[in-house]
């Protein structure tokens, strides 16, 4: 949703998640979860990395900047086809995560994964 000038409505949310290890973070989000790299930014070669990854309309900002997010945050991402998504993740045999798939009392199917900084991403589908 693109916001128009003078529009008082709210747009989409883009969480900022803390990261510490650029290589492991990229492996997790780009290779394991198959997000796309949209852009990266550093003020100079020795500055912390700030980047955006996305999958469809879902975008996340990942930051090495001190104070941008707290490690161990949790976010929920709705998706369609969670069983196929879960099976695809397991087929990759990623050594740092083998997520389960849980049917909840609140009528969702959920797949919870921790990224390399300890942030919890809960993918869910309403049943």
Q: How confident is the model at residue 19 (pLDDT cuts 50, 70, 90)?
A: very high
The tokens describing 29, both together, are 């989000």
**Placement of tokens 């490690």 in the chain:** 71
Instruction: Write down the pLDDT at residue 80.
Output: 96
User: How large is the average pLDDT for residues 16-35?
Assistant: 97
Which is higher by pLDDT, 69 or 92? Answer: 92
Residue 8 has pLDDT above 80, yes or no: no
How much is the pTM? 0.90
Above 60 in pLDDT, residue 3? no
- Residue 73 pLDDT: 94
Q: Does residue 71 register a pLDDT over 60? A: yes
Name the percent of the chain lying above pLDDT 90. 84
6-10, 32-36, 109-113: least confidently modelled range: 6-10
Residues in CB range of 109: below 8 A, 6 or more apart: 82, 83, 101, 102, 103, 124, 125, 127
């Amino acid at each position: 949703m693109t916001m128009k000038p003078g529009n008082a409505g709210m747009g989409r949310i883009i969480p900022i998640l803390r990261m510490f290890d650029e290589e492991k973070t990229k492996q997790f989000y780009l290779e394991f979860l198959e997000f796309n790299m949209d852009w990266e930014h550093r003020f100079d070669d020795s500055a912390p990395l700030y980047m955006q990854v996305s999958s469809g309309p879902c975008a996340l900002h990942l930051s090495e900047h001190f104070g941008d997010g707290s490690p161990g945050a949790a976010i929920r991402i709705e998706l369609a086809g969670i069983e196929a998504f879960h099976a695809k993740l397991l087929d990759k045999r990623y050594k740092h995560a083998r997520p389960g798939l849980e049917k909840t009392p609140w009528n969702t199917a959920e797949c919870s994964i921790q990224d390399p900084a300890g942030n919890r991403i809960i993918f869910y589908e309403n049943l």
